[in-house]
Amino acid sequence: MTAHVDHFTIGLVRSLSKYLSVTVTGVRPALIRYLRDFLRIKQNLIIFPSSSGKLSSAINLALLKSLTPLNDVVHANTSLSGLYCGSIEKLVVTEHGCPSPVHHLREASALIKLSSLGVPIVAISKYTESLLRKFYGIKAYKVIYHGVIEEFFYKPRCFPLRRPVRILYVSRLEESKEPLVFINAINKLQNTINFKAYLRGDGPLKNYIKSLIVKYNLTSRVRLIPRLPFKTLIKLYRYADIFIHTNSTEPFGLVVLEAMASALPVIVPNSGGASEIAGNAAIKFIPKDYTDLVEKIVSVVTNAQLYETLSYNSYKHAKIFSWDKAAYEYIRIYKKVLYND
């Protein structure tokens, strides 16, 4: 299996390794130092770190191709890596979004080719499934939801009597994630409630966001947090009072699910995969409308009954999503591929 984001790699590999021997390629070196601690696996796992440098992509693909004959099934987490594995007949692909024909032409081309060859394409949400059908005419083999790593689960919260309210935002800081909706919301929010906002993430908009924080006189209220190890990230969720997500075209939204597992009241846009995953357990705002987001935040943090209901509903809803369930569905597909069923 090719590695994907840390949350996915740890969660799915941990569950798959209860039943199968798993070889994982392309794992971030920084992740390896605590990957085995999280997986609690001694025998059923082989890890190959990703290469770095100018030739890293070519080296990683060459490694994948060399390992393919040694394994019964290849689970690729991009169509491009799947195309280069060398054995289409033993391939399963998970598409973690819908590749843009403009910005991700190679991935889109690989996806179209693999689908035409009959490779099972798994979508991670019904929203992603609909986009694959809309833009490429591809019918996903199955929708398999991600799970939640069990360490994220935390008891439902009581209404936060302490002030300021701790608002958490976890996302890559790039245009597609719509972080400026959050920044504009907390700028307007500072005249309404007392709060501290914590932005965990990095990306091309980081310096611009820093400048806005200064411009809006938010330096005493907003803290930018760099990428954190998993165990520290879990503590950050538990430290927060409420979680905000702004990406209205999110393919899935693992951070939303992790926040819900941590029993945080969650506010998401009323569109995209995050809305689908959060279901009726979250409060939803009009996509891109920071004024509506402000109103929703205020409604939650000033109403004890609503806050505690949302916290309980988050925790209960997150229990629906399990990596063991996901592993079971993937194993069923592996068997069909392996036995040509």
Query: Residues 205, 257: one domain?
Result: yes
Per-residue pLDDT at 110: 94
Query: Residues 293, 314: one domain?
Result: yes
1 within some domain: no
- Does 252 have pLDDT greater than 90? yes
CB of 110 within 8 A of CB of 79? Answer: yes
Among 28-42, 184-198, 251-265, 285-299, the least confident range: 28-42
Per-residue pLDDT at 44: 64
Per-residue pLDDT at 326: 98
Please provide the DSSP assignment of 73-110 as one string.
-EEESSHHHHHTSS-GGGEEEEESS---TTT-HHHHHH
Q: CA 276 → CA 75, 252, 271, 284, distances in Å?
A: 25, 8, 8, 11
Average of pLDDT values for 20-25? 88
Query: Residues 327, 312: one domain?
Result: no
- Does 51 have pLDDT greater than 60? no
Average of pLDDT values for 44-66? 68
- Higher-pLDDT residue of 127, 53: 127
Which domain does 127 fall in, by range? 6-147+322-338
SS3 207: helix
Query: Residues 327, 230: one domain?
Result: no
Query: Residues 39, 55: one domain?
Result: yes
Query: Residues 161, 99: one domain?
Result: no
Query: Residues 168, 257: one domain?
Result: yes
Per-residue pLDDT at 56: 62
**Mean residue pLDDT across the chain:** 91
Per-residue pLDDT at 37: 62
Query: Residues 78, 138: one domain?
Result: yes
pTM value? 0.93
